[in-house]
Chains A and B, each alone.
Chain A
């Protein structure tokens, strides 16, 4: 008699449990509780954290405020990739560029061929050198270091960024954000 009641109950509980644990595809937000902590690679959250730290530091430094004609004109230069993976630097520099332009403290200089063509045409037609040279260039480097102890692996990514004054030949601002991840395998959650 007891078995008659227990079996359906256990079955129902098991079904409920499996339904709760199921991971059907769904939309997620960057930085939410379900983010994947990937051990051996830089993920979107790492880029967001690095960009957040860099923008916070750069705006607080006041380096962009020290130009003759604000807002400062910034040209995004190369971010050297010293990691074992392929890195699209726009994942970092675009986030920084967006935040800087939204702050009203900087404008990002266009460097694509089409824009350069328009600039040259404008200069030729108006017969004057109208192109403003950048006040600063933004450059950087991403470095990966790996430490192992048994099955445990710690990967640290160092995001180094610098704001350079090309006319003076000096770096007016530098920052470094280290993001470390440790474990035996990648996981879901913070």
Chain B
């Protein structure tokens, strides 16, 4: 008898909980693009497959500023229906592969809504930095 009442209550609570956490995003954009992204081939190391599902890297594109600094833009996609918080940092390397550290390599926290596509960007600390690495870590 108890199970009869308990089961619907638990189901309703679970549905409410899931609805509360679920924040999928709808979006619209122009189909004919004037801008053209210069995509670069990338190497990936996936240690956290769950994070890769929630904050997956779609692609990486770069551009140069007028002052000769490399700009990097990484497109992320949350394939789940829930908001996810994450932390990321860009590491920069000079022509000799030596890491250049300054405030542009500091960790930043961000969040991505369910099914949302989001861009994160960085800029090279100096014109000599041509290589980069993005590190992502789950914050939930």
- Chain A residues engaging chain B, CB cutoff 8 angstroms: 30-33, 45, 48-49, 51-52, 55-56, 59-60, 62, 64-65, 95-96, 98-99, 102-105, 189-190
Let me know if A95 and B139 touch, CB within 8 A.
no
A60-B104 contact in complex given A65-B66, A99-B125, C-beta closer than 8 Å:
no
- Which of the 9-residue segments B27-35, B54-62, B105-113 touches chain A? B105-113
**Distance of A43 from chain B, by nearest CB (Å):** 12
- Asked whether any CB of chain A lies closer than 8 Å to the CB of B99, the reply is no
- Residue from B66, B85, B107, B127 having most chain A Cβ neighbours under 10 A: B107
**Distance of A163 from chain B, by nearest CB (Å):** 14
A102-B126 contact in complex given A56-B121, A65-B67, C-beta closer than 8 Å:
yes
Let me know if B137 and A33 touch, CB within 8 A.
yes
Size class of B's contact patch?
A: 20 to 34
**Distance of B112 from chain A, by nearest CB (Å):** 13
Chain A residue with Cβ nearest B67? A65
**Distance of A69 from chain B, by nearest CB (Å):** 15
The 10 A-B pairs with the shortest beta carbon distances in the complex, nearest first, are: A31-B107, A190-B139, A65-B67, A62-B66, A48-B106, A99-B103, A95-B103, A99-B102, A51-B103, A52-B106
A189 to B85, CA, bound (A): 11
Residues of B within 8 A of A60 (CB): 65, 69, 71, 123
Residues of B within 8 A of A56 (CB): 104, 121-123
**Distance of A183 from chain B, by nearest CB (Å):** 13
**Distance of B58 from chain A, by nearest CB (Å):** 21
Let me know if A31 and B89 touch, CB within 8 A.
yes
User: How would you classify the secondary structure of chain B's contact residues: helix, strand, loop or mixed?
Assistant: mixed
**Distance of B118 from chain A, by nearest CB (Å):** 16
A34 to B68, CA, bound (A): 36
- Chain B residues engaging chain A, CB cutoff 8 angstroms: 65-67, 69, 71, 85, 87, 89, 100, 102-104, 106-109, 121-123, 125-127, 137, 139
Show 28 A/B contacts (Cβ-Cβ < 8 Å), sorted by A: A30-B106, A32-B107, A33-B87, A45-B107, A48-B106, A48-B107, A49-B106, A51-B103, A52-B103, A52-B104, A52-B106, A52-B108, A55-B104, A56-B104, A56-B122, A56-B123, A60-B65, A60-B123, A62-B65, A65-B66, A96-B103, A98-B102, A98-B103, A102-B126, A103-B125, A103-B126, A190-B85, A190-B87
Residues of A within 8 A of B122 (CB): 56
List 16 other contacts, CB 8 Å, given A48-B106, A49-B109, A65-B66: A30-B107, A33-B137, A48-B103, A55-B104, A56-B123, A59-B65, A59-B69, A62-B67, A95-B103, A99-B102, A99-B125, A102-B100, A102-B125, A103-B126, A104-B127, A190-B85
